[in-house]
Amino acid sequence: MNIQDFIENFASQFDETELEEFTPETHFKQLDEWSSLTALSIIAMVDDEYDVIIKGNDIINSDTIQDLYDVVERQQK
């Protein structure tokens, strides 16, 4: 798993936001498209792609894509 692949998978959950807007430093909850439904999509994507179960609190406690990536990476080990 690497951050760029994670960003691409993360970005694929958004319909209208361009891939270029997603970086490790992106504060994803500030994106116009962010919603509770998107959060559920991210949780499902992480389970499908990385076989890791994250919870709503993991998303709540993450500010950036890098923060969330770090949570997933820690749980993969």
CA dist 56 and 53 (Å) reads 10
Kindly state whether residue 71 falls inside one of the protein's structural domains: yes
Mean pLDDT of the chain, nearest integer: 96
Domain span at residue 29 reads 3-13+25-76
Would you state the structure tokens that stand for residue 6, as one six-digit string? 């994670």
- pLDDT tier, 8 (very low <50, low <70, confident <90, very high otherwise): very high
Kindly state whether residue 18 falls inside one of the protein's structural domains: no
Would you state the structure tokens that stand for residue 38, as one six-digit string? 């998107």
Kindly state whether residue 42 falls inside one of the protein's structural domains: yes
Is residue 65's pLDDT more than 80? yes
- Asked if 19 and 8 touch (Cβ cutoff 8 Å), the reply is yes
Cα angle vertex 68, ends 67, 72, to 5°?
A: 120
Identify the pLDDT of residue 1.
87
CATH number at residue 46: 1.10.1200.10
Identify the pLDDT of residue 77.
72
